[in-house]
Chain A
């Protein structure tokens, strides 16, 4: 039974890989068939891929504990939002600029925090980043920044919507659909670039630092430099993601990204798979569709409604217990493994 399950898993993944070229247009066409709300969820999932990638880089690949990731998303979001208050909606260039500034703002803070963190190890580092995650929302809410951040009330900006000239040709093209396609572009670009970067020298350097910083140093890897790069890259992605999300939802408050969110991100990438891009995708889907998963669980196991986080937590525990066998991956790794198994076995059958 389990064997067939594995084969099925592998088959799904195989389809993705081999026929990605074909599936991609399917993805593009998808919004036509599903409701606007579903599209919106999908778009958020895309953005979370970016945010989780950031976390995966610093934690999965480089092995640096970061439980303050949500704070970077928050900072990026606020930067973008502040640059946009009272401006005209839907203008793409203005949006792109704000989003990028959000990313860079987070990058700056990330590096600034990263430098003192360089000497810290393990649990100490975790606590330093935790401090960050807790402090940032409070500062944002404080009365010093209120003129900019509007304190507890939060900021409203006009979300991204289909521009007028577009609507002339396609009058029924909803805002959500427009958002989806716009967001798809940077997501795909970022994923492809990072996939390449992480498969080559940069990724290997990160993993080397995670596994054995002493050996890495003697082999020529400038550990501090790469840690800073990891911090910077990770916070940039988080800020970028946070900024994009503001344009999707149009609303931002100081507690839009809390410390608990940081922890959920961590849990979700562990479940999805550390040090893998597939892991981020799986993790993002889990995060966005958690209530659906919750309902599913509720149907399968009566009375277990609302226990979904406990179940994810258990997944994390189990994954960590078997982390050696899983080679530090999670569900993403299982996908790859079953895919390979499928290939081997099919070869066996065909030959």
Chain B
């Protein structure tokens, strides 16, 4: 259940985005990743989901070497992610978006599909069922048959989340889920995340700017600055860590 990144580095042209970053996620726990803009948080996420190739370092998940895998193999290992900018399939409905999330984990048999046999109908029904379950879980079942392009941002965010959750992942990577949300939205999000932790326990990596949220929900927090680790520990430790306060949190008076 654990992701271990060790000394990951990546550079884009002359810019070193990640400089020997290490991270170890405790299984079943939620770890937060915070840091100022440009610290490399999303870059790290992209490395984990194999959209970028790090120039050095290692990454394993449950012992398996992630660097040898490609993006699409991750879901089979149980790793899914959400996106800060959602990246939905705009021409599809909510239902269809969710079902795509099951692509690699569902039974796929093109022969039976081609001839529309009973078995393929059963497959489709099963996909439908799981999509309905997830949408109920996230309270978006009302919107199931709407095309995502017309839905409000908050609902779209949950579609993105649903896509990642529907395959019952072992590792869930959340990329700034609270960004763009209102106060109410963040409260809802908090409730949903708690619900996830209760009903679908899994390891979660939460990249976020909303430090309050991270402090409340996460058992551990890792802090990045300019592509380097500067701290790791429990929320209490992080809140009192001098380096973190200097670089990111600021003194009490400033807030």
**Which residues of A does B touch, CB under 8 Å?**
193, 196-197, 200-202, 204-205, 207-208, 210-212, 214-223, 275, 324, 327-328
Contacts and interface: CB of A to CB of B under 8 A. Distances in A.
B91 A328 contact: yes
Most buried by B among A202, A212, A216, A219: A219
B124 interface: yes
Given A201-B103, A204-B96, A218 B113 contact: no
Interface in B85-108: 87-92, 96, 99-101, 103-106, 108
B161 to A, nearest CB: 13
Contacts of B110: 197, 201-202
Contact of B49 (A205, A207, A218, A275): A218
B91 A327 contact: yes
Nearest to A226: B72
Contacts of B100: 204-205, 208, 216, 219, 221
Given A193-B114, A196-B114, A202-B110, A220 B103 contact: yes
Interface string B105-142: 11010100111100010011000000000000000000
A204 B163 CA distance: 14
17 contacts: A193-B114, A196-B120, A197-B113, A200-B120, A200-B124, A201-B103, A202-B113, A207-B92, A211-B89, A211-B90, A212-B87, A215-B83, A219-B75, A220-B76, A220-B103, A220-B104, A221-B72
B113 A196 contact: yes
Contacts of B88: 211-212, 215
- Listed from nearest, the 8 A-B pairs whose CB atoms lie closest are A220-B104, A220-B75, A217-B71, A211-B89, A215-B87, A200-B113, A196-B116, A222-B72
A215 B89 contact: yes
Given A196-B113, A215-B83, A204 B75 contact: no
B51 A218 contact: yes
A207 B91 CA distance: 8
A264 B133 CA distance: 45
B210 interface: no
Nearest to B51: A214
Contacts, number: 97
Contacts of B51: 214, 217-218
A215 B82 CA distance: 9
Nearest to A217: B71
Contacts of A214: 51, 87
A200 B114 CA distance: 9
B27 interface: no
Contacts of A222: 70, 72
A215 B120 CA distance: 25
Contacts of B106: 201
Most buried by A among B74, B100, B114: B100
B91 A196 contact: no
B147 interface: yes
B62 interface: no
B87 A205 contact: no
Given A196-B115, A201-B113, A221 B104 contact: yes
A223 B72 contact: yes
B91 to A, nearest CB: 6
B89 to A, nearest CB: 4
Given A208-B100, A211-B89, A212-B89, A219 B163 contact: yes
Contacts of A328: 91
Contacts of A216: 72, 89, 100
B149 A218 contact: no
B80 interface: yes
Interface in B177-211: none
Contacts of A219: 72, 75, 80, 100-101, 103-104, 163
A270 to B, nearest CB: 15
B41 interface: no
A222 B88 CA distance: 17
B81 interface: yes
B21 to A, nearest CB: 20
A321 B250 CA distance: 50
Contact of A211 (B49, B80, B92): B92
Contacts of A218: 49, 51, 71-72, 74-75, 80-81
Given A207-B91, A214-B51, A220 B114 contact: no
A197 B114 contact: yes
Contacts of B103: 201, 204-205, 208, 219-221
Contacts of B83: 215
A207 B51 CA distance: 20
A336 to B, nearest CB: 14
Contacts of A221: 72, 100, 103-104
Given A196-B113, A219-B104, 9 more contacts: A211-B89, A216-B89, A217-B72, A219-B75, A219-B100, A220-B104, A221-B104, A222-B70, A324-B149
Most buried by B among A201, A204, A208, A223: A201
A266 to B, nearest CB: 19
B174 to A, nearest CB: 13
Contacts of A200: 113, 120, 123-124
Interface in B136-181: 147, 149, 163, 167
Nearest to A195: B116
